[in-house]
Structure 1
């Protein structure tokens, strides 16, 4: 009888885990569909005089649609593998400025760490490359890390605003590094110089940062509507 109960309990646990995985996958798919629709709406409203930033451009899946609008696109991608693909994807666009660098809150160099399976699947794994320690399934050994340039995104925003006026759009998908930047943008009023900022936050990937992400989300929601700052990009 005890064995049957244990077996039933194990099966229930397995089913609950499967249900949780399906629920999370459905939520992610819904967010992806929303982000795709949002990007289409953004592109439909961009003008050639607009300036937009794609931070964490990877191979150019967002950069290219932005470039097709005629707006001037600054695309930032630190991983050399992804940057090569990004360069190929945007080579015919004179309105794209590429930056082979990570973005942060300071300028210098920083250690870029890659996923454990990077060399098995560099295209798929390159989206996980990060400058933040403690991420899930990230190889932090020196064999799988490289030094890359680091650019202060707050400084870039200030400089572009001084030259061009309001920045039309900023997208951030930078595997945890968005936390420091978003905190600075909120504290320094930099969201006000951007028409729309979207970011994917990575609290699920960085357990130690979850409390800070929670505080940030609450503060941003209090200060700005989601039509100006959207932290549910994917």
Structure 2
């Protein structure tokens, strides 16, 4: 039996196994929901379920041109949505796209751990603007721009927000820093849920999934991965450190009903 196993292993690096390995990786990406389309990756389902809880304040961090904010408004018509977009040209498009939606408040700033100015890398596609220079990929930055950044705690104080129902963070690698900027609100359990992206860019930022788990678990938040029909709340394991993304959600552990609704199909 040992000889058979050794012979088998010696011949695994063959054309046939290479094709099988490629198929396996493709199936794994499908199963682990490497999908950025909000209409099929579970993000839409999240808000169909959240609507029953009648949220009053939502933050769209990384609003880009406003498509996500407009989707939020369809499900939460009576909710104030703060749409953050720091890049001026993209912000102007955002303002134009939401000008007829009074409940969407456009903010020409980015979310970060503190209040400051930083250079952001711009790409041909506005969806990829990032505080980080992307490494290892095909996308190349063509210019930079100085942007204004603000912490979530500071923004909450300025706007007299003592409770935030939902935060979406799509910040091309700066999600971890933005979460840290809500430290006081997290300590007081004043945020019900935070959705954040995790993917290949985390190789560049050196922020692993375990860093998010440790940060959020310490504040009393359960972390789960968003799938097309459910949220799978699960403890951290090395095997989840796959950089496939796209979205995870952290929910205040006291929000037991919300957690139950999100994890039910």
Report the TM range for the smaller structure's normalisation: 0.7 to 0.9
Q: Deviations over 1:131-188 (max 9, x none)?
A: 1234443435xx422222222223213444xx24322211111111111232454687
Is the CA contact (8 Å cut-off) linking 2:151 and 2:181 kept in structure 1?
A: no
Q: Aligned match of 1:24 in 29, 51, 56?
A: 29
Residues 58-69 of structure 1: pairs in structure 2 closer than 5 A: 58-68=64-74, 69=77
The TM-score with structure 1 as length reference comes to 0.74
Q: Aligned match of 1:106 in 110, 114, 124?
A: 114
Is the CA contact (8 Å cut-off) linking 2:163 and 2:191 kept in structure 1?
A: yes
Structure 1 residue aligned with 2:148: 149
Secondary structure, counterpart of 1:12 in structure 2: helix
Residues 69-80 of structure 1: pairs in structure 2 closer than 5 A: 69-80=77-88
Give me the whole-angstrom Cα distance separating, in 2, the residues matched to 1:62 and 1:186. Answer: 25
CA separation of 1:218/1:105 partners in 2, compared to 1, >3 Å: closer, same or farther? closer
CA separation of 1:216/1:110 partners in 2, compared to 1, >3 Å: closer, same or farther? same
Report the alpha carbon displacement of residue 89 of structure 1 after superposing the two structures with TM.
2.1
Give me the whole-angstrom Cα distance separating, in 1, the residues matched to 2:83 and 2:222. Answer: 25
- Per mean C-alpha deviation after superposition, the further-off stretch among 71-80 and 215-224 is 215-224
Report the alpha carbon displacement of residue 221 of structure 1 after superposing the two structures with TM.
4.0
Is the CA contact (8 Å cut-off) linking 1:105 and 1:154 kept in structure 2?
A: no
Secondary structure, counterpart of 1:110 in structure 2: strand
| 2:53 corresponds to 1:52 | no
Residues 66-215 of structure 1: pairs in structure 2 closer than 5 A: 66-68=72-74, 69-115=77-123, 118=124, 125-137=125-137, 138-140=139-141, 143-160=142-159, 163-185=160-182, 189-190=186-187, 192-202=189-199, 204-210=200-206, 212-215=208-211
CA separation of 1:105/1:164 partners in 2, compared to 1, >3 Å: closer, same or farther? closer
Is the CA contact (8 Å cut-off) linking 2:61 and 2:170 kept in structure 1?
A: yes
Structure 2 residue aligned with 1:121: none
Structure 2 alignment gaps of length 5 or more? 1-9, 225-232, 234-246, 250-265
Is the CA contact (8 Å cut-off) linking 2:61 and 2:168 kept in structure 1?
A: yes
Structure 1 residue aligned with 2:248: 232
Structure 1 alignment gaps of length 5 or more? 119-124
Give me the whole-angstrom Cα distance separating, in 2, the residues matched to 1:81 and 1:25. Answer: 34
CA separation of 1:20/1:53 partners in 2, compared to 1, >3 Å: closer, same or farther? same
CA separation of 1:130/1:208 partners in 2, compared to 1, >3 Å: closer, same or farther? closer
Give me the whole-angstrom Cα distance separating, in 1, the residues matched to 2:193 and 2:41. Answer: 18
More helix, by proportion: 1
CA separation of 1:25/1:111 partners in 2, compared to 1, >3 Å: closer, same or farther? farther
Aligned length in residues: 212
Is the CA contact (8 Å cut-off) linking 1:43 and 1:66 kept in structure 2?
A: no
CA separation of 1:92/1:21 partners in 2, compared to 1, >3 Å: closer, same or farther? same
CA separation of 1:96/1:147 partners in 2, compared to 1, >3 Å: closer, same or farther? same
Give me the whole-angstrom Cα distance separating, in 2, the residues matched to 1:77 and 1:211. Answer: 22
| 2:46 corresponds to 1:38 | yes
